[in-house]
Amino acid sequence: MSDKMKILGLEKKAIVDAFTSGRVTVAIYGLGRMGLPLAAVFAERGAKVIGVDINQEVVDEVNICSSISQGLSRGDFVILETTVPPRTTKDVVLPILKQSGLREEEFGLAFCPERTASGRAIRDITGVYMKVVGGIDRDNRRLK
C-alpha cells in the first residue's frame, strides 16, 4: 500500500482539505504557457508540485525563483510582468524577496500582467495596450 495521498473517490471537501494541507503531490509535465501557471495555482493552493520539462533552461529558471532575493538591495523595485494566477505577487514573490532580510517597506514590488499575443509581442509591448499595474500596497501601485 502506498503512503501517498489519493484523492480519487473522496468528497469535494476532503479533496480541498488534502490540497490545502499539502498532503497532495501534483506532477505537471510541460512547464510552458499553460503548465507553469497551472503548477503555480496548485502550489499556491498548498499542494506539493513537481514540474517536469524537457527544456533544461526552463527547469533551471524555475529552480532558481528564490535567487532574486540574493541580489535585492534597499530601494530596489521589482515588477513581475508575466501570466500568473491572482495573488502570486503577494503570496509567492513577496515571501521570496523577504528572504533577502529586507522588510517590505525597504523595497518595491508590483505586478503588471503580460498583455501580448503570439506573433505580436514587440508591437504589443511597445504600446498597443495600456499597462495595468497592481502592487502589494498603495505606495507600490503608483508611479513615483
- pLDDT tens column, 84-119: 777 788 888 899 899 999 998 888 888 877 666 666
What is the 8-class DSSP label of residue 89?
A: I
pTM: 0.52
In this prediction, residue 142 carries a pLDDT of 57
Distance CA 2, CA 57 (A): 33
Whether 21 has a pLDDT exceeding 80, the answer reads yes
Helices H / strands E in the chain, number of each: 7, 5
Q: Nearest Cα to 82, choosing from 33, 23, 122, 12?
A: 33
Whether 69 has a pLDDT exceeding 80, the answer reads yes
| Confidence bin at 1 (pLDDT 50/70/90) | very low
| Confidence bin at 52 (pLDDT 50/70/90) | confident
Cα 19 to the center of its chain, rounded Å: 17
Average pLDDT, the chain: 77
In this prediction, residue 144 carries a pLDDT of 42
Domain spans, the chain: 12-61, 66-141
What are the two backbone dihedrals, phi and then psi, of residue 33, each rounded to the nearest 5 degrees? Answer: -60, -30
| Confidence bin at 131 (pLDDT 50/70/90) | low
* CATH code of the region 66-141: 3.40.50.720
Distances (CA, A) of 4 to 17, 39, 130: 15, 19, 47
